[in-house]
């Protein structure tokens, strides 16, 4: 059988990783799968992860396992609730060497040096100082985004918004049923989320960060790569907001839909 490891290594080499880096990998692998097919083979996420582990022999890998569809009063099953963050996340969920954190909204799969420290993180607020986002502010985390726009990948921006207590978001207190290894408990969650009519828009932000060189952009075999230092990018976003930059927009139709949904829900 032909060895296609060079296809994975060609991609990984673009990440410019050191052996002790902390890597947060966000991805849409659909275009990557098409490229591998054009090369006469199929894309295997496990091979990519195995080779990343070899490269980061003294480092840490974080894969988002966010559950965007969870609602107040819902249930999060630590063992079974599937991430809404793509095929790579769902494949990693089947591995035994990654451990999932317990944040019901923004859990991550973690492997490597900082695994114990990250798994122990506990914060009532999903964007709080002791969340995975707080960890990323305090540590040199390198983020690689494969073929996904900032709009659908850079959730860290909401951590910054909560720190700033922006007026277009509001703290909501949720109660979620938390199941782990067959045992059920109740977990209170603070979610600093959008007010009615607010829609996140990171298009201008992404363009400015790329133009300033804070975010590196590459195109590899037609696959977009964005690479950045999370904490450095966060500081630049603070400057962006301080100078009148926007990460959101108000849409009247969206507000009306939220209003109608709330009225129907009360009946």
Domain definitions of the chain by residue range? 5-266
Q: Among 92, 88, 26, 14, which residue's Cα sits nearest to residue 55? A: 14
Confidence band (pLDDT; 50, 70, 90) for 266? low
Confidence band (pLDDT; 50, 70, 90) for 260? confident
Report d(CA 106, CA 49) in Å as an integer.
21
* pLDDT for the residue numbered 267: 44
pLDDT in tens, 48-74: 999 999 999 999 999 999 999 899 999
Per-residue pLDDT at 145 exceeds 60: yes
DSSP-derived letter for residue 12 is H
The mean predicted confidence, pLDDT, of the chain is 94
Residue 119 and residue 101 in contact, taking contact as beta carbons nearer than 8 Å: yes
Structure tokens at 178: 């938390």
Q: Among 111, 95, 163, which residue's Cα sits nearest to residue 133? A: 163
The pair phi, psi for residue 88, each rounded to 5°, is -65, -45
CA distances from 126 to 1, 104, 132, 156, 204 (A): 46, 8, 8, 11, 25
């Amino acid at each position: 059988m032909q060895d296609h490891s060079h296809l994975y290594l060609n991609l990984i080499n673009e990440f410019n990783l050191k052996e002790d880096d902390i890597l947060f990998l966000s991805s849409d692998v659909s275009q990557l799968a098409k490229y591998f097919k054009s090369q006469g083979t199929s894309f295997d996420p496990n091979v990519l992860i195995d080779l990343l582990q070899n490269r980061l022999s003294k480092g840490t890998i974080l894969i988002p396992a966010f559950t965007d569809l969870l609602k107040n009063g819902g249930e999060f099953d630590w063992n079974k609730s599937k991430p809404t963050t793509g095929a790579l996340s769902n494949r990693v969920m089947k591995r035994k060497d990654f451990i999932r954190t317990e944040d019901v909204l923004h859990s991550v799969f973690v492997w490597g040096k900082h695994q114990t420290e990250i798994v122990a993180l506990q914060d009532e607020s999903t964007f709080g100082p002791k969340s995975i986002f707080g960890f990323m502010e305090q540590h040199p985390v390198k983020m690689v985004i494969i073929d996904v726009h900032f709009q659908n990948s850079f959730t860290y921006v909401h951590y910054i918004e909560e720190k700033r207590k922006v007026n277009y978001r509001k703290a909501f207190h949720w109660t979620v049923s938390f199941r782990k290894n067959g045992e059920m408990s109740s977990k209170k969650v603070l979610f600093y989320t959008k007010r009615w009519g607010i829609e996140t828009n990171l298009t201008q932000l992404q363009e400015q960060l790329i133009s300033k060189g804070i975010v590196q952009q590459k195109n590899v075999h037609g696959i977009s790569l964005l690479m950045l230092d999370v904490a450095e990018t966060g500081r630049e976003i603070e400057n962006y907001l301080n100078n009148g930059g926007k990460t959101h927009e108000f849409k009247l139709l969206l507000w009306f839909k939220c209003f109608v949904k709330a009225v129907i829900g009360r009946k």
